[in-house]
Amino acid sequence: MENSRGNWGSNIGFLLAAIGSAVGLGNIWGFPYKMGKNGGFAFLIIYLILAVLVGFVIMIAEISLGRKTGKGAFGTYKELAKGFKWVGAMAVIVPLLIMTFYSVLGAYCMEYMFVNLGDLAFHTLNMSGGDLFGAMLTNPFGCIVYTFLFMALCFLIVKGGIKDGIEKFNVVGMPTLAIMLVIVIIRSVTLPGASEGLKFMFAPNFEPLKENFIGVLSVAGGQMFFSLSLAMGIMITYGSYLSKKENIVRNTGIIVLSDTIVAIMAGLAVLPAAFALGGEDAAMSGPKLLFITLQDVFASMGQIGPIFGTIFYLLVLIAAMTSAISLTEVIATMYVDRCAEKGKEPNRMKATAVICVIIFLGASVIAADGLGSNGMWVPFQNSLGVVGSFNDCWLDFVDFIAEGLLMPLGALLMSIIVGWIIGPDKVKEEVEINGTHKFAAYGFFKFCIKFFVPVAMAFILVGQVDGFLGLGIFS
Ligand code: PHE
Q: Mean pLDDT throughout 225-235?
A: 89
The most distant pair of C-alpha atoms in the chain lies apart, rounded to whole Å, by: 64
3-state secondary structure of 228: coil
How confident is the prediction for the chain on average, in pLDDT? 89
Q: What is the pLDDT of residue 2?
A: 44
Spatial CA neighbour of 105 closest among 322, 316, 269: 316
Spatial CA neighbour of 88 closest among 361, 333, 454: 333
**pLDDT tens-digit map of 358-406:** 999 999 999 999 888 887 777 777 777 676 667 778 888 888 888 888 8
Q: Tell me what percent of the chain is helix, strand and coil, each rounded to the nearest 5.
A: 80, 0, 20
**Ligand 1 atom 11 nearest Cα:** 229
Q: Is 251 in the pocket of ligand 1 (CB under 6 A)?
A: no
Measured CA to CA, the distance from residue 40 to residue 181 in angstroms comes to 20
Q: Is 227 in the pocket of ligand 1 (CB under 6 A)?
A: yes
CA dihedral sign, ordered 87, 454, 30, 249: negative
For 122, residues 6+ apart whose C-beta sits below 8 A from its C-beta are none
Q: Is 237 in the pocket of ligand 1 (CB under 6 A)?
A: no
State the Cα angle at 319 between 316 and 320, rounded to 5°: 85
Question: What Rg value do the Cα atoms of the chain yield, rounded?
Answer: 21
**pLDDT at residue 475 greater than cutoff 70:** no
Which is more confident, 470 or 82? 82
> How many other C-beta atoms can be found within 10 angstroms of the C-beta atom of residue 405?
16
State the Cα angle at 212 between 211 and 214, rounded to 5°: 155
First CA to last CA distance, the chain: 54
Q: What is the pLDDT of residue 87?
A: 85
Q: Is 223 in the pocket of ligand 1 (CB under 6 A)?
A: no
Q: How far is the CA of 403 from the centre of ligand 1 (A)?
A: 10
Measured CA to CA, the distance from residue 183 to residue 308 in angstroms comes to 8
CB of 248 within 8 A of CB of 63?
Answer: yes
Q: How far is the CA of 91 from the centre of ligand 1 (A)?
A: 13
Q: Mean pLDDT throughout 7-20?
A: 91
3-state secondary structure of 56: helix
**pLDDT tens-digit map of 173-211:** 889 888 988 988 998 899 898 999 999 889 898 888 888
Q: Is 260 in the pocket of ligand 1 (CB under 6 A)?
A: no
Q: What is the pLDDT of residue 6?
A: 75
CB of 423 within 8 A of CB of 247?
Answer: no
**pLDDT tens-digit map of 303-362:** 888 998 999 999 999 999 999 999 999 899 888 888 888 988 889 899 999 999 999 999
Q: What is the pLDDT of residue 474?
A: 62
Measured CA to CA, the distance from residue 359 to residue 158 in angstroms comes to 14
The gap from C-alpha 158 to its chain's centroid, in whole angstroms, comes to 17
**pLDDT tens-digit map of 107-131:** 999 999 999 999 888 887 778 888 9
Q: Is 229 in the pocket of ligand 1 (CB under 6 A)?
A: yes
**pLDDT tens-digit map of 321-332:** 999 999 999 899
Which is more confident, 430 or 161? 430
**Ligand 1 atom 6 nearest Cα:** 229
CB of 225 within 8 A of CB of 26?
Answer: no
Q: How far is the CA of 185 from the centre of ligand 1 (A)?
A: 22
Pocket test for ligand 1, best of 21, 325, 330 (most atoms within 8 A of CB): 21
Q: Mean pLDDT throughout 399-419?
A: 89
Please, which pLDDT band fits residue 5 given cuts at 50, 70 and 90? confident
Q: What is the pLDDT of residue 84?
A: 85
Q: How far is the CA of 159 from the centre of ligand 1 (A)?
A: 20
Pocket test for ligand 1, best of 101, 265, 326, 414 (most atoms within 8 A of CB): 326
Q: How far is the CA of 440 from the centre of ligand 1 (A)?
A: 29
Measured CA to CA, the distance from residue 262 to residue 148 in angstroms comes to 28
Nearest ligand 1 atom to alpha carbon 23: 4
DSSP H helix total and E strand total for the chain: 26, 0
CB of 155 within 8 A of CB of 356?
Answer: yes
Q: What is the pLDDT of residue 466?
A: 83
For 34, residues 6+ apart whose C-beta sits below 8 A from its C-beta are 43, 219, 220, 223
**pLDDT at residue 3 greater than cutoff 50:** no
Q: What is the pLDDT of residue 50?
A: 95
Pocket test for ligand 1, best of 97, 226, 399 (most atoms within 8 A of CB): 226
